[in-house]
Amino acid sequence: RTRGLAFVEDDPELEKIARIAVALKEICIEMATLKDERSQPFLNRLALPNKKKVPLYYERIPKPIDLPHIQSNIEQGTYKQPKVFEDDLLIMFSNAVKYYGISSPEGVASEKLKEHYYICKQRQVEKLIAYVGEQNELLR
């Protein structure tokens, strides 16, 4: 047993955050498996564009975020409540629609991923209820 793991187990709040992180990671992994008709991950369409090549994106989108950023937030323990994770995902989806348009390949990918997210979330609901309680907004 490592010291880090022992430390987490000795701190109920850190243990809770670690358990939430595991469930959120599972959602991200499942979302990454969703592919288009050419077997390309839909998430590829939602990757942040290069700032130098597409500066307009960063001017028009107040909170640019993509799945690697969200996964980094999970790893860093930023998401103490699943609702904050969901908020970031919904921002990622809406950013694609806002910048590229709903009927663009990015907009279509965004809508498909959003639908898939809600399915993935349902698979984690029982775990998340156990970790944060039924009062959490994400679980409604």
* 130 assigned to some structural domain: yes
Whether the predicted pLDDT of 139 surpasses 80 = no
Does residue 15 sit within a domain?
yes
| In-domain check, residue 33 | yes
Which one-letter DSSP state was computed for residue 39?
S
Task: Note whether residue 45 is domain-resident.
Answer: yes
Residue 140 lies in a domain: no
pLDDT at 102: 97
Number of domains in the chain: 1
Give pLDDT tens digits for 79-104.
Answer: 988 999 999 999 999 999 999 999 99
Note whether residue 106 is domain-resident: yes
Place of tokens 């288009």: 36
The alpha helices in the chain, defined as continuous H runs, are 3-10, 12-32, 55-60, 67-75, 82-100, 105-132
User: Is 46:110 a contact under the CB 8 Å cutoff?
Assistant: yes
pTM: 0.86
Report if residue 17 sits inside a domain.
yes
- What is the overall mean pLDDT for the chain? 89
Name the residue range of residue 104's domain. 3-135
Does residue 122 sit within a domain? yes
Measured distance CA(55)–CA(123) in Å, rounded: 38
CATH code at position 51 = 1.20.920.10
